[in-house]
Structure formats: structure tokens, C-alpha cells
Copies of this chain bind each other. A is one copy, B any other.
Amino acid sequence: MHGYDKHAYEPFAVTVDLAVFTLRAGQLHILLVERGQDPYAGRWALPGGFLAPDESAESAARRELAEETGLSDVAGLHLEQLRTYSEPDRDPRMRVVSVAFAALVPNAPQAQGGGDAARAAWLPYEPGARGAYGPLAFDHDVILADAHERIGGKLEYTCLATAFCPPEFTLGELRQVYEVVWGTELDPANFRRKVLATPGFVEQIPGASRLTGGRGKPAALYRAGGATSLLPPLLKPAPDATEGTR
């Protein structure tokens, strides 16, 4: 196929949508912008924007990420293409094909309004029920749920969790990433053994330590190692059948 002179083709508008997660006060947060105009005026939506003629979707996503978060060094942030949403009726005005990305930000600064007048905020994300943001605009509820599932899955078999942490972190903070994203609790001792047994996951910073919550024994500091895959994987514990909370 790909014969342009033999087949008619329709032009489409192409956008990128970003699901930007961060950890704040021990809770998973998502970056959202408030729409100021119809359709879905007043509703929250994922940040995003149109693809420029001379950039790839990855470039556009990273540009939008810098604009919306106000961070200066978005080069090192984890940005991952989720999938492309192309249902014909997903935008009531016109045909829009959107390439969705998931991004992880370690320490979230204040949310910036974008280039235009839209209001931006970090809002706590709760997987099952809709949180404080209500139903999102367009199909962004689906995109957001897909993004969270992807992140949770990648924690199992990659070293992605360090992307949520600042350059220097304790093993307790790293464990909190798993606990918050998965919504479960992990045994601190077993988690420590598993992480340290994986070569290249983390590297200890010699002689450095820090108190995490003002209490308890000071914890050693680590930085992210060079490994990217986590073998064997760190599997999310199966939900207990006797417990009805899930």
C-alpha cells in the first residue's frame, strides 16, 4: 500500500497528551489542566498540544512537559509513549489522533499555568474511583487509567522506580514508590534484600545518611544505578482473597 496516488487519504490533526505522575506527601499525584473553553469547559484534562510540522511526537511531548511543569531539565525525566488514541468521535469538533505519553517527575515544583490562561494543578490520583478532579475531558479518563496501569506494570520488571526519586534517596523512599503506585504494602526487609541483590539497580553513596521522617535510625543514601531491566522481576503481591478491600 502506501501508494498515495492510488488511494485517497484524509488529513488528521495530531496531538500529544501527557499523563505526568509525581509523588507528593506519600501520595501519587497527576498533573492536570483546567479547560477554559468548550468542549468540556471547566473540566480537568491531561496537558497536551498539537504536533508541530517539524517535530516528532516525542519532541512535542518533551516540549509540552517542560512548558507545563516549569522544570528546566526535562532531558533526564522518564518519558514513555503509551499508545495512540484514534477513535473517530473522541473529539466532538473534528478528527484528532492523539499520541499519549506517560511521564515521571521526581520532585514536583509548583504547577504552572501553560502558555495560555489554563490553570494547572497537581491533584491526587486514586486508581479506582475518580478523585478530586471528577470526570476528565475527552477520553482522558481512559488514557490516565492506561498510564497508571503501564507504570505499575513497568515497576515489576524494570528499574523505573528510581525515576520517581530525587538524585539521592533512601531505600525507604524507593519502597514508598512501589507502595504508592501499587496501593499495597511491602515488607521493608525483603524489599531491601531484593533491591540490593539486583546488580545495577541502586548504588550506595558511601558515608552518606539521612533521616527520613525525623524519626528512626538514619538511612543510607543511594543513587540510581545503570541497570534498566529487573531480572528476576519484583512481582506485585497478589491481592489477598480473604480481604475484601480490593
Residues of A within 8 A of B (CB): 1-4, 6-15, 33, 35-37, 45, 47-58, 64, 81, 83-84, 86-88, 93-95, 97, 99, 114-116, 118, 137-138, 157, 199-200, 227, 229, 231-233, 235, 238, 244-246
Contact = CB atoms under 8 A, between A and B. Distances in A.
Contacts of A93: 4
A53 B88 contact: yes
Contact of A86 (B37, B56, B115): B56
A12 B10 contact: no
A88 B13 contact: no
B14 A116 contact: no
A45 B199 contact: no
Contacts of A57: 84, 86, 97
Contacts of A11: 11-13
Contacts of A4: 93-94
Given A9-B13, A86-B14, A232 B231 contact: no
**Within the oligomer, what is the number of copies of this chain?**
2
A167 B37 CA distance: 52
B56 A87 contact: yes
A7 B51 CA distance: 11
Given A14-B12, A64-B1, A116-B6, A84 B87 contact: no
A138 to B, nearest CB: 8
- For the complex of A and B, the 9 pairs showing the least CB-CB separation, nearest first, are A11-B11, A1-B49, A9-B50, A57-B86, A10-B53, A84-B84, A12-B14, A56-B86, A84-B99
Given A2-B45, A11-B12, A235 B246 contact: no
Contact of A238 (B86, B227, B231): B231
A245 B199 contact: yes
B244 A55 contact: no
Nearest to A14: B12
Contacts of A118: 1
A244 B199 CA distance: 8
